[in-house]
Structure 1
Amino acid sequence: MTVMRMPWLIAFVVAVVVLVALIVVMAVGLATHRIRIHSAAADSDSADDLSDETTTLLSLLPGTSIVVDANDEVVRCSPQAYQLGLVSDDAIVQQQVLTTVHEARRAGGRHQFDLTTETPERYANARDRGDHVDTRSVRRPNWLKVTVGRINERFVVVLVTDVSEVIRFAQIRDSFITNVSEQLLEPTTALAKLADSLESEEIDREHVTEDARLVRSSCNKLNHMVADLLLLIRAQEPITPSSANRLNVMDQVRAVAERLQPQAERDGVRLNIKGDADLVINGDKDQIDSALTKLVENAIGYSKEGGVVSVSASRSTDGTQVVIRVVDQGVGIDKRDQGRIFERFYRGAEQSERTRDGVGLGLAIVKHVALTHHGDVTVWSVPGQGSTFSLMLPVAR
């Protein structure tokens, strides 16, 4: 745990040092008359009261900084302050930050605390790709380390270190360990039960058969998890486009659909395939096959009997990308889950009889395949109305 805290701890210490340096610079500036003394009538022009040294120092800060004047107006801040949900319309919107600003202005000193915010929806929820709007992510917690200090009688500075990625990584790591441990324990537990049944003086064939079924099921899940983990490992190295790795997109789509057709028929789901036969990308055939397989398998698994899963491939409006869309008419994905479904081992609440045995690695594989191919993957979903996953990959040149 100490190792995990080091990145944000170092950044936090740096932020505190910079805050002290900022206060020193302001004090020196006052001593040498580099800051003009304004009358009360000129108070509205707060930004002009910041010295060149202060402005330069703020621009060099590694984290997010906010400068507030005597009227609680934000006179300068980093763009991230808006994205982290701290500032809106030139005002601090987090009451805890504003209260601490007042305390620092009144009593001086340095004030530190932790804060959790949410990214405003306009910054996190959607982006326009030209021909459609995809949901890339939804609001997710931002875990912040906040330091507040008074510069002088007029200005207070707020320094913010975003440690969200460190905390999320720790959460994913813990989930990874928990899930892998559970998957490894299942086969051994099932084997132990089977051994007990076989060693019994009165062997019950029905119990032996049931225990053997559990062993086979557990081993299949373990094999599936190991195979997916190997796929994740192989999907870490970026793909370099060349004439040797050109792939026809529809050939890949048709191959996946043909292989999964028996599963679709067994589950009472109809597959519809369409697309431009001339679309070509640069990629690793096995990785692209794995990503498409995971998307179509999920669409079939979450669809109701009698539903339709559509897979299409087309060129984006600007012509630079191939967009492969997998559309289902299934249960959909709750909004609170949409921002996390691409994380390893994360599984949403809506599981069906056909998907409950999954280990939560499928969409993580899709995400990493997209990234290694210099592409992206997005999701649009409404509970009860189905989901659309869009895999975007650069057109081969």
Structure 2
Amino acid sequence: MPQFQPSVWIFVVFALLALAALAGIGFFIADRLQPVIMNALRSNDRLPSLQSRRRGARRRQEDDEPADDLDDSTQLVLSMLSLASVVVDDQDEVVRANPAAYRLGLVRDDTLIEPTLLDAVHKVMKDGSRCSFDLETQTPEQFMTMNGFDAAAADDGLTAEASSRPNWLKVTVGRIGDHLVLVLINDVSESIRFAQIRDSFISNVSEQLLQPTRALERLADSLESADVSHEQLSNHARQVRHSCVRLDRMISDLLMLIKAQEPVTASEANRCDLFSQVSGAVDDLAGTARDAGVQVRVGGKSPVMIHGEADQIRMAVRKMVENAIVYSHPGGAVGVSVALSSDGKNAVVRVIDHGEGVPKADLPRIFERFYRGSNQNERTTDGIGLGLAIVKHAALAHHGDVTVWSAPGQGSTFTLSLPVGD
């Protein structure tokens, strides 16, 4: 039996170890490459279908007309327009809309919601014509302005009434591409409201001026008549006096209302204490409150400094308190408070009564000139309807606001908010 040298055995052992190492490395590499190879094989199997789909997509893109879109120049022109605008495609989707279109109740969730306008868009899209028409819409609920909010009123269980005024629009619809329609909206609401207020103002003032004139005519007829009794003559004279007092009050209110149209500029010269003006206004109405059997309580922070015309502030507070007194029940109470807002930026006058309250139908118009609500009583029959209008315009002139929270049978809370003086 041949004998192997030790060196041979060593060589054989190392050879076997080398083969084992190479086999291990091979299995390791194969294990790592298997997923890659399988993915490559599957990709090769899918390649014809992917290529065919891509070729089909390219053919469809070549066959279809290119999609219309707003180029930069068109967008620039639309952004420079003072009119509100909406661009709609042939799928009724809103491509572009001015924020005013949402506020005016034309667009919601990128869709036209006004049926008349949508019909006009369809017609223009179909025949390529252009049309213009007048349209009246209502402001959506989320854009409504509230007639006031007050934490104390909410705690008392009073309900809020949001007011929405109609919007009068002049609309023009025209096509600007094969698949796009442009809607231009001219909001003429303010001019129409101004005309309505002007006509109402002239009508109401004329009616107020006619009352003393007619009373004077009756008195003159009585004086000319030989058989008129002394009692009739005295009655006609009282009517003339009453009409003259009413006319004098109306002229004073009108002058105050006109004065309140001019914005107040803050200065050191017109810095005043709001609490003092509120206390003075309540003192002015002591006789009125006593005759009505209503107690007025004043409280709150003092002093609270603001910038403003003292006469206007005092008159505005007086109108608020007077309104609360005449609509309160005999034996009732009116609370008047002066405080700072939670952020300390505004001085707040709050007048709370527990009287008749304001009907919901009257709330949207309660601050209009000459407006008289449906909840009148024997103490309010001689009212003119300018008191709350004075409050509103005085608040605006002082860069503030006035709000009301009310419910029938639960009373009302009027809140006057003015910026705090530096």
TM range (shorter): 0.7 to 0.9
1:260 aligns to 2:285 (yes or no): yes
Superimposed CA distance per residue, residues 330-349 of structure 1 (whole angstroms, 9 cap, x where no aligned partner): 22223333232222222222
1:153 aligns to 2:178 (yes or no): yes
Quote how far apart the aligned CAs of 1:184 are: 1.0
Distance in 1 between residues matched to 2:147 and 2:372, nearest whole Å: 25
1:129–1:340 Cα change, 3 Å:
closer
Distance in 1 between residues matched to 2:219 and 2:104, nearest whole Å: 54
1:207 aligns to 2:232 (yes or no): yes
Conservation of the 8 A alpha-carbon contact between 2:161 and 2:360: no
Decide which moves more: 272-281 or 291-300: 272-281
Conservation of the 8 A alpha-carbon contact between 1:238 and 1:374: yes
Conservation of the 8 A alpha-carbon contact between 1:131 and 1:317: no
Conservation of the 8 A alpha-carbon contact between 1:287 and 1:369: yes
1:190–1:69 Cα change, 3 Å:
same
Please point out which of 354, 357, 367 is paired with 1:329: 354
How does 1:1-397 map onto structure 2 within 5 Å? Answer: 39=61, 49-126=69-146, 138-397=163-422
Distance in 2 between residues matched to 1:358 and 1:273, nearest whole Å: 25
The code of the aligned residue for 1:273 comes to V
Distance in 1 between residues matched to 2:386 and 2:162, nearest whole Å: 18
1:128–1:319 Cα change, 3 Å:
farther
Quote how far apart the aligned CAs of 1:175 are: 0.8
The code of the aligned residue for 2:294 comes to V
Decide which moves more: 112-121 or 95-104: 112-121
1:324–1:66 Cα change, 3 Å:
same
Conservation of the 8 A alpha-carbon contact between 2:106 and 2:114: yes
Superimposed CA distance per residue, residues 153-201 of structure 1 (whole angstroms, 9 cap, x where no aligned partner): 2111111111111111111111111111111111110011011112211
Quote how far apart the aligned CAs of 1:382 are: 2.0
1:304–1:336 Cα change, 3 Å:
same
Distance in 2 between residues matched to 1:159 and 1:256, nearest whole Å: 50
Distance in 1 between residues matched to 2:151 and 2:376, nearest whole Å: 31
Aligned match of 1:26: none
Conservation of the 8 A alpha-carbon contact between 2:149 and 2:404: no
CA RMSD of aligned residues (A): 2.5
Decide which moves more: 127-136 or 161-170: 127-136
Distance in 2 between residues matched to 1:384 and 1:78, nearest whole Å: 43
SS in structure 1 opposite 2:200?
helix
Distance in 2 between residues matched to 1:184 and 1:130, nearest whole Å: 38
Conservation of the 8 A alpha-carbon contact between 1:68 and 1:75: yes
Which runs of 5 or more residues in structure 1 are unaligned?
Answer: 1-37
Aligned sequence identity (%): 54
Distance in 1 between residues matched to 2:62 and 2:402, nearest whole Å: 55
Number of positions where the alignment pairs a residue of Structure 1 with one of Structure 2: 358
Quote how far apart the aligned CAs of 1:145 are: 0.8
Quote how far apart the aligned CAs of 1:233 are: 2.1
Higher-Rg structure is: 2
Distance in 2 between residues matched to 1:317 and 1:129, nearest whole Å: 14
Conservation of the 8 A alpha-carbon contact between 1:125 and 1:135: no
User: Segments of 4+ in structure 1 off by > 3 A?
Assistant: 38-43, 125-137
Conservation of the 8 A alpha-carbon contact between 1:138 and 1:335: no
Conservation of the 8 A alpha-carbon contact between 1:267 and 1:305: yes
TM-score (norm 2): 0.80
SS in structure 2 opposite 1:336?
coil
